[in-house]
């Protein structure tokens, strides 16, 4: 991650001591000056460490403790991140002869590895900080959508020659849509909270799509869709943008990098970028899938990754947005029926609103899918 200065706050003395002691374990030049907590993240504990070089220049670094409640095997996460960042840096260095500060890099610990066992437990790491960059939570226009599509397409291109078996699956069956469907049907059968009667229309829509929930996995099993290394969290706020030019600089947050299908990444990008409504929107009239944003995503993604994708991957780009929207809708609805045990809620019915927002988006994508497919093919042919 790369926070803006407004998200950083001063540390209490005990935490400041801990952050300084951990930061000093990494290969950072200069003298420790300041540690601040970054509040914009939702999973890992993140801090900003400032060091002063002998000439007075200040440099900042990101320190993170991996959340072991979310990532049960943090060392596996670190091996994946190290493998992918090293490969990307190698590719960029061969191409540009100069990294130019535009790639995510891990700093080594004094032991030579890229992580540190902190005081009192926990796995810590140190990243480079990107000065002059910012993030967005919502895609505001087609230019940003193009940049987002291009950034994630470039990520796919950079790791396309890294064998998927070089990294491990840290969250099993993360995008196994048939298992998500089965989990929902099990929740319906149990009806532990007596909520099934009120969601019959939602279930009817999901059941009408049952024949398609396993399509991508079927094509993978047949060898039509290749297994690749994928990001698995392709939201726009996982891209750093240059504050002056508003160009995408770097893809961040690699903790969910795993073997998967490129269509999972593109589908999730479509899901998160094309709908301006809140994820838990109560007024479904505000859920409006933007064809213009979709088209910009396609143009950017294919400009960067078009040469490494096969025809089947390109042919299912529009469908992938529908499938991932449906998948997340099923996950939210399952949690609603089970009593809100997984996704945190601040109000009653929030997971149901989240589910209906995703299902509404999936329905709109289905309505426009033919037009979306035609545009994808037009862009692919023009390259």
pLDDT digits (tens, 9 = 90+) for 84-134: 999 999 888 877 655 445 688 999 999 999 999 977 678 999 999 999 999
- The residue among 142 and 95 whose pLDDT is bigger is 142
Comparing 67-81, 267-281, 367-381, which segment has the lowest mean pLDDT?
67-81
Angle at 144 between CA 139 and CA 146, to 5 degrees: 115
Check whether 318 has a pLDDT greater than 70: yes
User: Could you tell me the domains of the chain?
Assistant: 5-131 (3.30.200.20), 142-382 (3.90.1200.10)
pLDDT digits (tens, 9 = 90+) for 165-216: 999 999 889 999 999 999 999 999 999 999 999 999 999 999 999 999 999 9
Which two tokens mark 145? 């959508």
The whole-number pLDDT of residue 45 equals 84
Check whether 44 has a pLDDT greater than 70: yes
Helices 291-305 and 142-158: crossing angle in degrees, nearest 10, is 30
CA distances in angstroms from 137 to 7, 41, 49, 161, listed in the order given: 14, 12, 24, 30
Q: Can you tell me the distance from the alpha carbon of 292 to that of 141, in angstroms, rounded to the nearest whole number?
A: 9
Q: What is the mean pLDDT of the chain?
A: 91
How confident is residue 9, by pLDDT bands cut at 50, 70 and 90?
low
Check whether 279 has a pLDDT greater than 70: yes
3-class DSSP assignment, residue 279: coil
Q: Can you tell me the distance from the alpha carbon of 319 to that of 263, in angstroms, rounded to the nearest whole number?
A: 9
Which two tokens mark 122? 């926990």
Its sign, for the CA torsion 240, 318, 210, 169, is: negative
Which two tokens mark 104? 């995510």
Which two tokens mark 187? 């929740």
The whole-number pLDDT of residue 40 equals 60
Mean local confidence (pLDDT), 131-147: 93
Check whether 2 has a pLDDT greater than 60: no
Check whether 13 has a pLDDT greater than 80: no
Q: Can you tell me the distance from the alpha carbon of 81 to that of 159, in angstroms, rounded to the nearest whole number?
A: 12
Residues 36-53 as b or e (16 or more Cβ within 10 Å = b): bbbeeeeebbbbbbbbee
């Amino acid at each position: 991650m790369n926070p803006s200065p407004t998200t950083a706050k001063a540390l209490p003395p005990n935490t400041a001591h801990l952050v300084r002691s951990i930061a000093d374990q990494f290969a950072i030049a200069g003298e420790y000056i300041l540690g601040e907590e970054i509040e914009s993240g939702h999973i890992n504990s993140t801090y900003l460490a400032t060091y002063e070089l002998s000439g007075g220049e200040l440099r900042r670094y990101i320190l993170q403790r991996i959340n072991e409640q979310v990532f049960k095997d943090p060392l596996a996460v670190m091996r994946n991140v190290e493998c992918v960042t090293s490969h990307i840096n190698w590719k960029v260095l061969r191409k540009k002869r100069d990294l130019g500060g535009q790639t995510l890099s891990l700093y080594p610990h004094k032991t030579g590895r890229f992580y540190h066992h902190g005081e009192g437990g926990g796995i810590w790491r140190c990243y480079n900080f990107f000065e002059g960059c910012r993030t967005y939570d919502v895609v505001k226009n087609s230019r940003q959508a193009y940049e987002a599509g291009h950034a994630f397409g470039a990520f796919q291109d950079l790791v396309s020659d890294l064998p998927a078996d070089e990294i491990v699956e840290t969250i099993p069956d993360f995008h196994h849509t048939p298992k998500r469907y089965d989990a929902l049907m099990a929740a319906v059968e149990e009806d532990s909270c007596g909520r099934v009667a009120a969601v019959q229309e939602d279930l009817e829509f999901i059941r009408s799509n049952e024949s398609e929930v396993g399509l991508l996995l079927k094509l993978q099993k047949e060898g039509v869709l290749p297994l690749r290394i994928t990001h698995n969290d392709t939201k726009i706020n996982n891209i750093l943008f240059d504050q002056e030019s508003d160009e995408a600089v770097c893809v961040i947050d690699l903790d969910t990098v795993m073997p998967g299908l490129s269509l999972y990444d593109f589908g999730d990008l479509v899901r998160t970028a094309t709908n301006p409504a809140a994820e838990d929107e109560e007024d479904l009239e505000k859920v409006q899938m933007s064809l213009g944003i979709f088209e910009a995503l396609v143009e950017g993604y294919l400009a960067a990754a078009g040469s490494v994708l096969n025809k089947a991957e390109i042919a299912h780009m529009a469908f992938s947005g529908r499938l991932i929207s449906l998948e997340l809708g099923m996950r939210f609805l399952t949690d609603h029926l089970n009593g809100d045990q997984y996704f945190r809620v601040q109000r009653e019915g929030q997971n149901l609103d989240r589910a209906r927002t995703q299902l509404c988006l999936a329905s709109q994508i289905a309505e426009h899918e033919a037009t979306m497919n035609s545009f994808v093919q037009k862009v692919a042919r023009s390259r």
